[in-house]
Each structure stands twice: as C-alpha cells, then as structure tokens.
Amino acid sequence: MGASVAKGFAIAAEWRTRDLRSVWHPCTQMREHQSDLLPLIPIRRGEGIWLEDYNGKRYLDAISSWWTNLFGHAHPKIAEAIAQQAGQLEHVLLAGFSHAPAIELAERLLARAPKGLSKVFYADNGSSAIEVALKMSFHSHRNQGDMQRHRFVTLSNSYHGETLGALGVSDIPLYRRTYAPLLLQPMFAPSPDTWHALPGESGQACAERAALALDELLQKHGQETCALILEPLIQCAGGMRMYHPHYLRRARQLCDHHGVHLIADEIAVGFGRTGSFYACEQAAIRPDLMCLSKGLTGGALPLAAVLCTQALYDAFLDDSRERAFLHSHSYTGNPLACAAALAVQDIFDSEPVLQQNKTTAERMAVLAAPLVELPWVADVRQTGMVLAIELAAECRRPLNAAHRTGLRAYQHAISQGVVLRPLGDVLYWMPPYCIDADALERLANVTRDAIIVATNGL
C-alpha cells in the first residue's frame, strides 16, 4: 500500500472515530456503524456524479444524495451564485423584509408552474413545506367559514416527511408505527400503484380502480376533508412505486367535486425528474398547493417552497391577524438558498435539460432491461430519470427480511464504488442528470453484480 493511501486510511479512521463520538446520523441504527457492519464513509469532496473519500476512492452517487442533486456535486455555477450572495446578504428575516433572490425566485417558479398557481410561501425543508400545505389548507377552509373540514386523505404507501404533521399523512410502517400515538389520523385511500395491478390489468385501469375507491371515500367523508395529499406519479420512499397519470386527473376531478384541496408533493419528483418539469404536467392538472424542495437548490442548500392558488391566498386577506397565515421558520426564504435555486433555474433556461434527460433515460432503460432475467427480480420499472428494480419472491411476496438483501446489495455496491441505497428490497437509479454513458454502464454492471451477490443463499 502506498504511503499516501495509508495516510488516507488513517485520516478516514480518525474522522470515523470522532464522528461516532459526537454525531447521531439520520435514518440509521447507530449500532451498525459501531459494529463495522456498515462502515461510515467520510467524504472529502464531490465533483459531478462522484463523491470522493479520504483514500481517493470515488463513489458514483447513483441516488443523487437522497434525490437532492440535479446537476452534480460542487457545480461551479451554483457554487458561484452562493459565494456572490454570501458576500452581499447572507440572511434577513422575511417578515417585514424582502430581498431580490426571494422575489425573483418566486417569479420564476410561478412562471414554470401549472397555470393558476400564483403565490409562493417559503420554508426550509421538505417536511416543513408539507406542514405549511396542511395548515394552509385547513386554515383557508376555516377562514371561508367552513368549520367542518379538519381531516386529510392520503394514499397508502405514501411518504411526505418525518416531522409529526408530515409523518401523520405518511403511511410507511417503518417510519410511522413507533410514533402512531402522536400522529394525525388521516383517511387512507388505496394507492394507484401499478405494482398492485391485477393480472392483465393495465396501469390506467389499475389507476381507475384506485380512483373509484377514492370516490367512495370522498362521497362518505368529503365534507370533513381539507385536502387530498399525494406524490404525483412516483411514491418514492415507498419503494419507487409508479402509477399512471390517469389517477391524477381523476383525483383532480373528485377533489373539485367535493370542495377538497389537492396537495401535490413534488418534493422528490419536481424539476425534470419524471420527464416533464413537474410530474403534474403529465396529467395536465393544477394542484391547489404544490410542495417543492430537494432539487430546488440543485442539492446545494436546504430550501422549500409551497405554491398556491390565488383563491387560497385570498382566503387569508382580512383585518384580523388570526386570519393571517402566521406560520414561520427563522430561515424562511434564506437568500443563499434562493441564490442557489436561481442558479438552478438558470441552468434549466440555458441548457436543454429535459431533452438530454430523455436520452439518458432511454440509455437507462436499455441497460436495465437484461436485469429482468436475474433470479428474484420481480419488476424493472421506470419513469423518466427514476429506474427501480424490485426484488421479490414468487407471486411478488416480500423476500425473507432476515436475509437483509438490500443491505447486502448496498455493501457490495459500495465496495465497487457505487452508492446504491436500496429501499427495502427495491434497488433504484436516480442519478444526477449529468451522468454519462460510461458511468451508466458501470452503474448497470455493479447493480447486476450486487443483485447476484445479495440474493445468493436466499
């Protein structure tokens, strides 16, 4: 081993030790790091699709650092925009004050949003955006004299974040079960997820079946419902489960019929991820509230935005403070984050991102097609720049959980310099848009090997 590599190992080991002494990591059983089952990886730098550790080993970030990164790490245009803004105004409270980046970003987000969304409320992370949308919906009904509406409808297998309100409208047992006594009690409508299609049933027919169930639910409970919240086209944390846009059109109609708001959580799927700029566009619908975060700043800084209709906004205009929307976070509309988001908008304006993504998505499809032949691969599905490979036993039953297939796949991929972080037994590719053909091929090869290694002995 060369001297510099040995030094790299020593530096990484030192950071690891110090980390475990002081840091508590998200979404992690910390014991696994202590036992070396899952060694923590200190990252020194990032560039494009690559993350680099202290040994100089590079990792292909196939999951865009939890779906935030659109154009690669340490993107020069985004870094420059943040640096410029930092030298001018790092932050000012957004109550009573304003600043050019927040104003300009609101204008530009609205210009690209479904027609009819006309105001932007900022927050600083995805879960907070969901809290804002839920409270806004509830409060606007009250402001209009409708005091009956106090419940929400959400879809089975949905995920909207992990603060109590956002978790309350989420349905993933791993996250929800423990905190259930603390949570809102939403009504759950069946997911239109094509995975649940009956034999021979099309994606659209499956979506229609779910829409009929939603119709029934709203006929019974529409009067007490504030809003239906959903993730357009892909239930991401729920295992990259995908559904036909027909459901969105039907959900829009049903919400209109029952005076229920439609909240589109585009936090993971917005900004070109699904093939269109927003996923909602594929059904040509306008939600009443649309939540954005993750890719909003290209993965550089935390920021979120809730876009709403003029009617919703107008419901809060009054002489009384109580009718105002008093929700606030200290860093609401932070100028640095807004500057990063503006740089992202510039990239969309100056480069044919969606067109390039189409080519990249086609490459992904071709490379993933042979994976269907592997044992335990039950489904390979794709929507734009999201491709998922679901492993399952016969008749789509879950794999033996004790085998820890997903963890094994993760470990193998990491050893090969690829960050795959399966959701249970679902492996997926959700790479930064700048991933090139060579890197994709490597990703496909490592994924194939990871599946073979991980399922061995099942």
Ligand X SMILES: *Cc1c(COP(=O)(O)O)cnc(C)c1O
Which residues would be at the binding site for ligand X (CB under 6 A)? 125-127, 130, 159-161, 231, 236-237, 265, 267-268, 293-294
Q: Which is nearer to ligand X, 159 or 429 (CB)?
A: 159
In sequence order, the 6+-apart residues with CB closer than 8 A to the CB of 64 are 70, 299, 430, 431, 432
Maximal CA-CA distance, the chain: 73
Least distance to ligand X, CB of residue 372, Å = 26
Distance, CA of 161 to CA of 125 (rounded, Å):
9
Displacement of CA 163 from its chain's centroid (Å): 15
Q: Which is nearer to ligand X, 67 or 348 (CB)?
A: 67
Write out the two tokens for 9.
């190992």
Give the position of tokens 């009054």: 318
| Pair 344, 296: CB distance under 8 Å | yes
Least distance to ligand X, CB of residue 430, Å = 11
Helices (H), 23-125: 30-34, 64-67, 76-86, 100-112
Q: Which is nearer to ligand X, 59 or 159 (CB)?
A: 159
User: Which residue, judged by CB position, is nearest to ligand X in the bound state?
Assistant: 126
Least distance to ligand X, CB of residue 126, Å = 2
Least distance to ligand X, CB of residue 158, Å = 8
Distance, CA of 76 to CA of 48 (rounded, Å):
10
Q: Which is nearer to ligand X, 294 or 381 (CB)?
A: 294
Least distance to ligand X, CB of residue 437, Å = 28
Q: Which is nearer to ligand X, 126 or 203 (CB)?
A: 126
Q: Which is nearer to ligand X, 25 or 257 (CB)?
A: 25
Distance, CA of 369 to CA of 298 (rounded, Å):
29
Strands of the 151-155 sheet, one edge to the other? 117-123, 304-309, 289-292, 261-265, 225-230, 151-155, 187-189
Q: Which is nearer to ligand X, 203 or 295 (CB)?
A: 295
Least distance to ligand X, CB of residue 169, Å = 10
Least distance to ligand X, CB of residue 154, Å = 11
Distance, CA of 206 to CA of 244 (rounded, Å):
8
Distance, CA of 154 to CA of 168 (rounded, Å):
10
